[in-house]
Amino acid sequence: MVYRVVQWGTGAVGVEAIRGILDHPDLELAGVKVYSDDKVGRDAGELAGREPVGVAAAKEVDTAGVDAVLYAPRHPSVAEAAAILASGANLVTTAFAFHPARMEPAARETLRQASAAG
């Protein structure tokens, strides 16, 4: 089975994640979310120091129908994470902001509800 994955953010962690997705036989890069205008339209492979792969980076990425989102923005957002979860995608992140012990109860509840909806 091949899992469709979106990479959310293309900083140091994000470009390493793109390389990992591209190198894994069971993963397909389904999209790349960027925040800066200078990266919009650039090929994901090129952003990761590779040959072009045919996936253009965009500021708006639809996560409906993807299996997972590797969420690695510079500034994590509960609202963004909740929207991803509500779309039905699994969310994977290294962001300490989402560790349950560090989160405010209201933020935890927002993510719980989004997970249940998705």
pTM: 0.94
Domain span at 35: 3-117
For the chain, how many structural domains are there in total?
1
CB distance 52 to 32 below 8 Å? no
Rounded CA separation 33/71 (Å): 9
- 105: domain CATH number is 3.40.50.720
Rounded CA-CA distance 91/6 in Å is 10
| One pLDDT digit (tens) per residue for the chain, 118 residues | 999 999 999 999 999 999 999 999 999 999 999 999 999 999 999 999 999 999 999 999 999 999 999 999 999 999 999 999 999 999 999 888 888 888 999 999 999 999 999 9
